Structure formats: C-alpha cells, structure tokens
C-alpha cells in the first residue's frame, strides 16, 4: 500500500472525471494510459519487478477497486500484470536459462525483453501490453487456434484483447506443429487500420475494432485481424504458451477476489452480513497467499480453487433483496465481472471436481 494508506483514486483523481488531476484529455491517450504513470509511481508493478509479494499486489488492487472508477482501473492493471506480465516473466526466465544457445538471436531477444520490462519501470515512456488468446470459435481450446506464422508472416484474428485498444504491443498466441508460440505484435496507436513502418502498406495487413463491455466500461477491448503481418526471429517471446495459460487465468480469477473485496467495501459499512462475509473472504485470501513464496504457480493456485466468493456475493444480493447473485448486475453492471463464468472457468471447476472425486 502507499505510505499514507490513502486510496489512489481519491489521492490523484479529479472529482467528476475519470482521469487524474491536471490531465489534459486527448483522443490519443486513453483511460488506463492516463493512470499508468501514477500506478508505476505508487508501486503497482513492484510484484512483477520482484520488489514485493503477490499478496501485496492483491491488497493494492483491492484498495483501488473501492472507488467506482477504480474497478475498471484495477481490472486493466491486474490483467496487464497477471497475463502480459506473466508471459514476460516466464519468457525472461526461460531466456536466461537458455542463454548462449544462439548468440545473434540471443542478443536481439534480450534487447526486446529489456525494452518490454521498461514498460513497468519508473522514468520511461508509458507503454501498455496486452495479450491475444481468444479467437472466434476456439472454445477455449488452444488446439483450435487458427493464428499461424508461415514463411515469416503471421495471420489470424483475436476476438477479445483486454486493454487492446490502448496497447502499444500485443503478445499474440499462435498455433504450430510444436505448440503455441507467442509473438510480439507492435501497434500504431494513431490509426484504426494499422501499417508496420518499413513494411508493406497493404491496408488489409491489420484491421481492428475496439469495443467496451457493459461491466467495467472504461476498460478497452479489441478485435484484431492480422493478414501476413511480418514476423522476425526476435519477435518470438515464448516458444509455447501451453500450460502457462492455466496459471495466468487462475491469477485473473484470484485477482477478481481482490476486486470484489474492494468493490464491496462501501456496502460492508452499512450491512453487517456483507461486512462479515467480506472479512471472511479477505482473511481467506490473505491466509492463502501468505503460504506462497515468490510467483504463484498453477498447482498452488489450483489448490485454492474455486475461490470462495459465494458467501459475499450472496450477502450482497440479499442486501438489495435480489433473487440471486446473478441479479447483482441490475444494481451495478460491474458486478457482472464476479458472476460471469467463461468456458475455461467452467473447465477449471470440472477439473478440480475430478481431482477431488
């Protein structure tokens, strides 16, 4: 937490605005980008840089989510840290382990990774990274991905890239005979139909569509189509996304616990049942993550799954005399974030049930 324990939105926000104080709004700078320098300054990326525990990061995003604007901001932050940051962390670790296998590529890859890490450090230009996994019809199965790289050209479509419309670069998960390599795709923020400097100016090379969801509406998402986007050897960030995907999704789901803890704080001040359930969930999270040393892996994260949010969600729905937690979105659309289950989450639930049976 910051030294004064003051909520970051209240400390730096402009009343009546979604942007920080003294921020000059422009079409080229979005919501998350306007706040990221402050998040860096306040240590929200310290976990990624190895300066603090994963629990401390979770406490920070809980605090951030206490304010309405903060729910969207904490979602953008936690997705970048957990998913893009998770890929970067594993890529750097593997690169270090395989050092000197290919000297020329090794040097170029090291330069790419170093420049990406600068996006989370103070004193650098603001960079945002997003990850493209979901594709039309993929049904959360990596074997059904259609994005491929052939003869140095990447083609494919990603249907739901969180933070994508603000991203400077996208980590693009593809399919090959060997696995699911991840490639770095650079974006030009200024146009909707992108071109890569120094390469072909074919207008069909990159086509994108930005959109928002009803919940956390300040977070930008992107549908992006690439047609023969040029790929260089050093653009391969990670050779195989594979099993890493489960770890990253579990981190997102665990982070939603922290966002719910923050989101429910104000109601807990006026409803005793909500207060009790919120305290129980906070204690569970703190106890669970206090057992984790370093970066939590899949086995550790799966040991606590499914994460016990039902009690707090039920107490919140009873507070508003609703039939079930799924009706919470009628009070505040952001609550849909905590009751919506995608196919992969359902798969994880079934996987855990099979393990326990």
Q: Average pLDDT of the chain?
A: 90
Q: Is the model's pLDDT at 110 over the cut of 60?
A: yes
Quick one: what percent of the chain has pLDDT higher than 70?
A: 91
Q: Is the model's pLDDT at 139 over the cut of 60?
A: yes
Quick one: what percent of the chain has pLDDT higher than 90?
A: 78
Q: Rounded CA gap, 30 and 211, in Å?
A: 13
Question: 341 versus 281: which is more confidently predicted?
Answer: 281
DSSP string, 257-320: HHHHHHHTHHHHTT-HHHHHHHHHHHHHHHHHHHT--SS--HHHHHHTPSP--HHHHHHHHHHT
Residue-range domains of the chain with CATH: 8-107 (no CATH), 126-238 (2.40.110.10), 244-356 (no CATH)
Residue 97 is predicted with a pLDDT of: 82
Residue-wise pLDDT tens digits, 15-48: 999 999 989 877 778 999 999 999 999 999 999 9
Residue 101 is predicted with a pLDDT of: 59
Confidence tier at 166 by pLDDT (50, 70, 90): very high
Query: Which among 254, 317, 249 has a CA at the least distance from the CA of 281?
Result: 254
Sheet holding 236-238, edge to edge: 129-132, 169-173, 182-186, 236-238
The residue-averaged pLDDT of 231-246 equals: 94
Q: Is the model's pLDDT at 204 over the cut of 60?
A: no
Confidence tier at 159 by pLDDT (50, 70, 90): very high
- Those residues whose C-beta lies under 8 Å from the C-beta of residue 16, and which sit 6 or more positions away, are none
How many other C-beta atoms can be found within 10 angstroms of the C-beta atom of residue 356? 6
Count, residues in the chain: 357
The residue-averaged pLDDT of 212-225 equals: 97
């Amino acid at each position: 937490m910051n030294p004064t324990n003051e909520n970051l939105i209240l400390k730096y926000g402009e009343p009546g605005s979604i942007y920080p104080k003294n921020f000059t709004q422009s079409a080229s700078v979005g919501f998350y980008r306007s706040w990221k320098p402050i998040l860096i300054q306040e240590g929200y990326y310290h976990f990624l840089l190895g300066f603090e525990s994963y629990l401390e990061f979770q406490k920070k995003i809980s605090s951030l989510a206490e304010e309405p604007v903060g729910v969207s901001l904490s979602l953008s932050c936690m997705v970048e840290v957990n998913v893009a940051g998770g890929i970067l962390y594993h890529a750097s670790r593997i690169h270090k382990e395989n050092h000197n296998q290919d000297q020329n590529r090794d040097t170029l890859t090291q330069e790419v990774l170093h420049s990406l890490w600068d996006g989370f450090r103070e004193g650098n230009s603001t960079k945002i990274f997003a990850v493209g996994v979901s594709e039309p019809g993929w049904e959360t199965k990596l074997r059904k991905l259609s994005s491929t790289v052939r003869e140095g050209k990447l083609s494919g479509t990603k249907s739901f890239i969180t933070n994508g419309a603000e991203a400077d670069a996208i980590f693009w998960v593809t399919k090959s005979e060997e696995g699911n390599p991840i490639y770095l795709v650079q974006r030009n923020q200024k146009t909707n139909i992108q071109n890569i400097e120094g390469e072909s100016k074919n207008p069909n090379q990159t086509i994108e569509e930005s959109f928002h969801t009803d919940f956390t509406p300040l977070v930008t998402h992107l549908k992006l189509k690439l047609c023969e986007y040029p790929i260089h050897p050093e653009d391969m960030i990670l050779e195989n996304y594979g099993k890493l995907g489960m770890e990253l999704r579990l981190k997102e789901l665990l982070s939603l616990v922290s966002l719910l803890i923050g989101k429910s704080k104000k109601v807990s001040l006026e409803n005793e049942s909500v207060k009790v359930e919120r305290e129980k969930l906070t204690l569970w999270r703190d106890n669970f993550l206090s057992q984790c040393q370093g970066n939590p892996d899949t086995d550790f994260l799966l040991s606590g799954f499914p994460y016990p949010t039902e009690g707090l969600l039920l107490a919140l729905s009873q507070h508003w005399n609703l039939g079930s937690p799924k009706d919470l979105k009628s009070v505040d659309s952001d609550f849909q974030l905590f009751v919506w289950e995608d196919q992969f989450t359902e798969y994880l639930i079934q996987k855990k049930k099979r393990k326990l049976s």
